[in-house]
Every structure is written in C-alpha cells, then in structure tokens.
Amino acid sequence: MTLQLLILGDAPIEQMLERAKLAEASHFATVWLADERFYREVYSCLAVFAANTCRVGLGPCVTDPFARHPALTAMAIATLDEISGGRAILGIGAGISGFAELGIERKKPPRAMREAIELIRALLRGEEVDFHGEVVRFNNGRLSFKARRADIPIYVASNGPLGQRMAGALADAVIMEACGSVAEVGALRAEVARGAEKAGRDPRQVKLVARLNACVTADGRAARDTLRPGVARLLGRRSLKLATAEAEGLMLPDDAIASIGDAPYAAGVKPYLPLLPLVSDRHVDAFTLGGTVEQIAARVSALRRAGIDSIIIRPLAPQGGTVEDVIQIFGTKVWPAVEAATTA
C-alpha cells in the first residue's frame, strides 16, 4: 500500500514545490497536481516538481479528454516522463471544472475516456494513428519524438460503474473520490472486477486507489470539523455517484438539498454551509480521513484489508495548523502506524 499526495494549484508555485519536496522527504510515493480550471497550469508546475525531486511519481490528477485533446495529453505526459527520468503517471477522468466557462460539452464520458486511453497508448508506442471514435478524432498523426516509455501508467478516476468497469478493462489503476468506507470499497472492487473479467484481465492487475480529503490533529473532532464543509458540498451537489451511500443512510434529505439550489462549481463550499448541521461525524468518516493519528491509521488499515492499494490525500489545514503539518504527520506518523498494523 502506498501514500500519495494531491496538490491543488491554488497556492504560489514556490509553496506548492515545497509541499512536493516535503512529501518526498516524508515517504510519499507520488505527488499529483489537480488539472482544475482555472488554477495554475498543471504540466508547467509538474515540470518544476520534476526538476526539484528525485523519487516520487508525478502526474495530473486528473486531466480529461474534453478540455485538452488526448493527443496533446500524450505529448505532455511523455515530455513530463522525460523531464522526470521516467516518473510520470497519467491520471485521466471525465472532468468537472471549467466546462461551462469554456463552452465545452462533456459527451459520453466513459466512451471518451476509453477512446482517449486507446489513442494515448498508441501515440506513446510511436505509432502513426488514424483514429475516428464516437468522441475522439485524430487524423493520421504521430508524436514527433520518441517517448521515453511506451507504458506510462494510466490511472482512471471514476465514481460511476461505467467508468469503473472501463478502468477494469483498460487502466493500470482506478481512482475513486470519497471512497472512505469498507462498503464503498467492496462496490468499487466488484465493478472493476466486472470490467476486467469481461476484457479477459485478472482484476488484481488493476490497483484500487481511494482519493480522500484529509486532516489530522491531536483533537479528532477539530480535524473532522475542518473536513465537514467539503462533505456538505459533496452531498449537496450530488455530483459523485456513491454506490452504497443511500443503503448506508448517508444521503441528506431531498428538501435540504433543494433549498440550496443550483450553485456553480466555482463557488466552492460556501453555498453548502447551511447543510452543516446535517453532516454528522459518520458522514465525515465515510467520505474523508479525519481524526487523530491513531483513528486515521485504524481506518486506513481497514480500507487496506477491504482491497485498497493506495491512498491519495488532499490535505486540509486544521484551525491553527498548516497543510505542511498534515503532510508531515501523515508521512511520518500515520503511515508508520499503518505499516506496523499491516505487519502485525
């Protein structure tokens, strides 16, 4: 099991770089940067990370096949792989941010991701490609340089069954946001296995990755309170498909959701703050990693036993603390506790 870091491009590049270096020093395996509009541009920042680190994997978490043509993604990830000395990982998903502003229509997301992966892999192999899919088109082209690796790992981010089955068929790993409960891991594992077996693959070839907002403090309640607004937004938007949330009694009432109305994605958590009284610790624990070192280590160990291969954390600073504190504590205290429990 590995620990990975997600950085959002909402801080100055110098600060993001220090977080990437801190993650490497704190035994994280991978540093991801969100390709989210309209923050700092993902590949230029990743190139800076690559030039100033030597061990961690690096990649976008996640890019999409709509705002950037998959052939340009192949070009970008191959360049990052060259800069980093073979440490690039490509995260791809359906995307959510910036489409309204850019006037982009998301057509058939699972099909678009499948076609993007097929085109990207062919280009990384050095092939000349004439590709005419339902969503992605590319006319008789190829990369004008040789990629350092043809088999750059591709991780698919999906919270829906169609995307998860597609990941099982094609990807090296699947990333699921807010997959913080053992029940949800079981549902994810079943969909990935379904797609893998249909494609004639061993489901064990596909790594399962939980992407979780995270906060750790000596006061577990304070850590959960830091994460609570994000959970209110997650449940208020109902934008993520969570297979077990309704059965587990984790959905908020329809009338409470309706009272919020349609808030734009760029508005962040603010429109959803009226929902906070409805968001219990049980909700927070199902969708995030918050608490003390011991509480989080126990929950990560349970996710590992359920089948999760890696955890990606997006660290949130508690009151009176910093994002850097959370990164360092996860790497130097939480993760050794997880490994000790695994060994035991």
Residue-wise pLDDT for 43-67, tens only, equals 999 999 999 999 999 999 999 999 9
- Position 309 pLDDT exceeds 90: yes
Query: 95-108, pLDDT tens digit by residue?
Result: 988 898 999 999 99
Helix axes 13-25, 42-51, angle to 10 degrees: 50
Residue 267's pLDDT band (boundaries 50, 70, 90)? confident
How many structural domains compose the chain? 1
pLDDT for position 343: 83
Q: Is residue 255 part of a domain?
A: no
Q: Is residue 245 part of a domain?
A: no
Q: Is residue 232 part of a domain?
A: no
Query: 189-241, pLDDT tens digit by residue?
Result: 999 999 999 999 999 999 999 999 999 999 999 999 999 999 999 999 988 88
Residue 342's pLDDT band (boundaries 50, 70, 90)? confident
- Position 91 pLDDT exceeds 80: yes
pLDDT for position 146: 98
Token look-up 């349609």 returns 262
Q: Classify burial at 299, counting beta carbons within 10 Å of its beta carbon; exposed 0-12, middle 13-18, buried 19 or more.
A: buried
Q: Is 105 helix (H, G, I), strand (E, B) or coil?
A: coil
Contact by Cβ (8 Å): 108, 116:
no
pLDDT for position 169: 98
Q: Is residue 159 part of a domain?
A: yes
Q: What is the dihedral of CA 295, 299, 300, 302, to 10 degrees?
A: 140
Alpha helices in 85-152 (DSSP H): 99-102, 109-124
Q: Is residue 150 part of a domain?
A: yes
Q: Is residue 180 part of a domain?
A: yes
Q: Which residue has the higher pLDDT, 70 or 264?
A: 70
- Position 298 pLDDT exceeds 80: yes
Q: Is residue 240 part of a domain?
A: no
Q: Is residue 281 part of a domain?
A: no
- Gap between the Cα atoms of 50 and 85, Å rounded: 8
pLDDT for position 333: 98
Q: Give φ, ψ of 315 to 5 degrees.
A: -75, 135
- Gap between the Cα atoms of 314 and 16, Å rounded: 13
Residue 197: in which H helix or E strand, if any? helix 182-198
- Gap between the Cα atoms of 329 and 306, Å rounded: 24
- Gap between the Cα atoms of 293 and 220, Å rounded: 9
- Gap between the Cα atoms of 282 and 280, Å rounded: 5
Give me the CATH number covering residue 161.
3.20.20.30
Q: How far is CA 55 from CA 21, 84, 172, 223, 323, in A?
A: 10, 9, 20, 30, 21
- Position 344 pLDDT exceeds 80: no
pLDDT for position 239: 80
Mean pLDDT over each residue of the chain, to the nearest integer: 96
Amino acid at the residue 156: V
Contact by Cβ (8 Å): 93, 60:
no
Provide the b/e sequence for 224-260 (b: ≥16 CB within 10 Å). Answer: bbbbbbbbbbbbbbeebebbbbeeeebebeeeebeeb
Contact by Cβ (8 Å): 116, 92:
yes
Give the domain extent around 311.
2-216+289-343
- Gap between the Cα atoms of 294 and 332, Å rounded: 13
